[in-house]
Chain A
Amino acid sequence: MSVIDIKGLHKSFDDLEVLKGIDLTIETGEVVVIIGPSGSGKSTLLRCLNFLEYPTEGEIRVNGELIDPKKSDLDKVRQHMGMVFQHFQLFPHKNVLHNVTIAPINVKGISHKKANVVARDLLGKVGLPDKEKAWPSQLSGGQKQRVAIARALAMDPDIMLFDEVTSALDPELVSEVLQVMQDLAAGGMTMVVVTHEMGFAREMASRVIMMDDGNIIEQGTPEQIFGDPQEERTQAFLSQVL
């Protein structure tokens, strides 16, 4: 079944049309990697998926249900979607454990005890079992991002959205975050990943989507996109980043 199904998605900011008619279906268990030049609308597309931005036009279905941003319970919709940001956005006034438990406790109403058990398990999985008492400002960028992933996973989402989550990291910290994402993908998590890490795309993507100027101009398996790109703009983009 498709987790997300988008038809004819347009998004404008005032006069600027940023998404110009996107059709996209994401199936359960897929790892969809979105690539494309800066300003092509990758972040905006991702942010439309969990309604941090409202579409100007078009239909978005989540788990089969048509979502109307004005009428649907978006808080509920977002509970099923985890998002990880480029700049971490950990809550600086909460320690690591509380960062991970705050949503399950306050949104889902889970008991502190149960939330702590889940959080400790997740912190173990992202390789930070001994950091639960640390403050975000005491962590390296790579550690912060792994906590952010654990925080999103604590809501037990159906799909995870990643927006250039390694772009703000020092080069030597990138791999520890990618490793966690690989583990997630291997575990069957449905993922949409905007990234400039072509190595990750090549290895982990079930599908690569190339965006340019508000459109999906080409998509296919990593072999197709990296081995035999059809579009000139894809070729030009890849020759720049590879």
Chain B
Amino acid sequence: MTLINVVQEYFWGFLVATGMTLRLTAVSLVLAVVIGLLFAFLKISRYRVANIIADAYIGITRGMPLIVQLMFLYFGISSIVALSAFWAGSLALALHAGGYVAELLRGAIQNVDRGQTEAARSLGMSSSKSMRLIVLPQAFRRAIPSLGNQFIIGLKDSTLVAYLGVPELFSKAMTAAAANYSPFNTYLVAGTYYLVLVVIFTWMVRKLETRLTPYRQEATR
């Protein structure tokens, strides 16, 4: 098949699969932020046990190939509860990305001036209120570029979920390439879809960053 033929044949099919890729990525990133926040708190906690748990989690998720974690978790999770491939895949991606998100949120939280917390506490706020109202909003705003970067990594990592049988973009490309004997053109088209997504997303993150009014600068340490 020529490149033109491939585009004509698979344009819509790939687009639908792209929807699945985006859903996988978005769901896993949202879960990863929740997981990451939890482990970031454990990591900065003053309890030693919590620190150790966080270190272990971050170490494991960062220290093993994603495909191994994915298979391990997919078969592990689905042997305990019946989860669809989509949810097992999202959860596995989230658990993996969670380790990275934990580290970057920990950094962002610790980079907010200690004086901000002291000011909040001096007004009578509890430690959880000062975290929620004063520290976290500043930390998240500052983490936007790295969270955006994590999203892009997650988008590319989601290709591996093809091996769990989720009908996302890469699995569609594999099926197509096997059927039409034109792997070069087929993967070229699929690759372009990913590239376009990354470009659009990078632009959106930059927009978001500058849109948070130039006046809302953060108090840095």
A and B form one complex: yes
How far is B219's CA from A52's CA once the two chains are assembled, in angstroms?
A: 20
CB distance from A76 to the nearest CB of B (A): 7
Contact flag A52-B118 (CB < 8 Å), given A78-B124, A79-B124, A103-B123: yes
A113 at the interface (CB under 8 A from B): no
Interface residues of A in 88-105 (CB under 8 A from B): 89-93, 102-103
B124→A93 contact, CB < 8 A: no
Assembly CA distance A151 to B122 (angstroms): 11
Q: A93-B216, A135-B215 are in contact. Are A81 and B141 (CB under 8 A)?
A: no
**Which of chain B's residues have a CB closer than 8 A to the CB of A107?**
123-125, 129
Contact partners of A91 in chain B: CB under 8 A: 116, 119-120, 134
Which residue of chain B has its CB nearest to the CB of A135? B215
Whether the pair A151, B134 counts as a contact (CB closer than 8 A) is: no
Whether, in the assembled complex, A235 has its beta carbon less than 8 Å from a beta carbon of chain B, the answer is: no
B115 touches A (CB below 8 Å): yes
Interface: A190 (CB within 8 A): no
Say whether A202 faces chain B, with CB atoms less than 8 Å apart.
no
Contact A89 B216 (CB under 8 A): no
Provide the bound-state CA to CA distance between A190 and B134, in Å: 28
Contact present for A85 and B217 (CB under 8 Å): no
Residues of B within 8 Å of A137, CB to CB, are: 215-217
Tell me the residues in window 117-164 of chain B with beta carbons closer than 8 Å to chain A beta carbons. Answer: 118-126, 129, 133-134, 137-138, 141
A52-91 CB contact bits vs B (8 Å, 1 = yes)? 1000000000000000000000011011011101010111
Please tell me if A12 contacts chain B, counting CB pairs below 8 Å: no
Contact A76 B124 (CB under 8 A): yes
Instruction: Report A218 CB to chain B, min CB distance, Å.
Output: 29
Interface magnitude class on chain B: 20 to 34
Does B9 reach chain A (CB closer than 8 Å)? no
Q: For residue B89, give the distance in angstroms from its CB to the closest CB of chain A.
A: 35
Residues of B within 8 A of A152 (CB): 122-123
| Alpha-carbon gap, A76 to B215, bound state (A) | 33
CA distance A107 to B218 in the complex (A): 23
Number of A-B contacts (CB under 8 A): 73
A4 to chain B, nearest CB (A): 15
Render A125-160 as a binary contact track against B, CB cut-off 8 A, 1 for contact. Answer: 000000000110110000000001001100100000
Kindly provide the distance from the CB of A150 to the nearest chain B CB, expressed in whole angstroms.
12
Closest chain-B Cβ to A159's Cβ sits at a distance in Å of: 12
Please measure, in the bound complex, the distance between the C-alpha atom of A90 and the C-alpha atom of B218, giving whole angstroms. 10
Instruction: Using known A-B contacts A89-B115, A92-B218, determine if residue A103 contacts B134 with beta carbons closer than 8 Å.
Output: no
Chain B residues, Cβ within 8 Å of A148: 119
Contact B218 A75 (CB under 8 A): no
Pick the contact of A50: B122, B125, B141, B217 (CB < 8 A): B122
Contact A155 B123 (CB under 8 A): yes
When distances are taken between beta carbons in the complex, the residues of chain B under 8 Å from A134 are 215
Whether the pair B119, A89 counts as a contact (CB closer than 8 A) is yes
> Is there an interface contact between B138 and A92, defined as CB atoms closer than 8 Å?
yes
CB distance from A79 to the nearest CB of B (A): 4
* Distance (whole angstroms) from the CB of B97 to the closest CB of chain A: 26
Q: Is the CB of B215 within 8 A of A106?
A: no
Q: How far is the CA of A83 from the CA of B117 in the complex (A)?
A: 13
Q: Which residues of A contact B216 (CB under 8 A)?
A: 92-93, 135, 137
| A residues in contact with B125, CB < 8 Å | 75, 103, 106-107
Contact B129 A89 (CB under 8 A): no
Residues of chain A within 8 A (CB-CB) of B213 are 135
Q: Which residues of A contact B126 (CB under 8 A)?
A: 75
Q: Chain A's nearest CB lies how many Å from the CB of B207?
A: 19
- CA–CA, A106 and B120, complex, Å: 11
> Judging by beta carbons under 8 Å apart, are B123 and A93 in contact?
no
- Contacting B at CB under 8 A, from A160-215, are none
Closest to B118 in A: A52
Residue of B nearest to A77 (CB): B124
Q: Which residues of B contact A (CB under 8 A)?
A: 113, 115-116, 118-126, 129, 133-134, 137-138, 141, 213, 215-219
**Can you give 7 contacting A-B residue pairs, CB < 8 Å?**
A89-B115, A92-B217, A93-B216, A102-B133, A107-B125, A135-B215, A137-B217
Given contacts A85-B119, A135-B213, 13 further A-B contacts (CB under 8 A): A75-B124, A78-B123, A79-B124, A83-B122, A89-B113, A89-B119, A90-B119, A92-B216, A93-B218, A137-B215, A137-B216, A138-B215, A152-B123
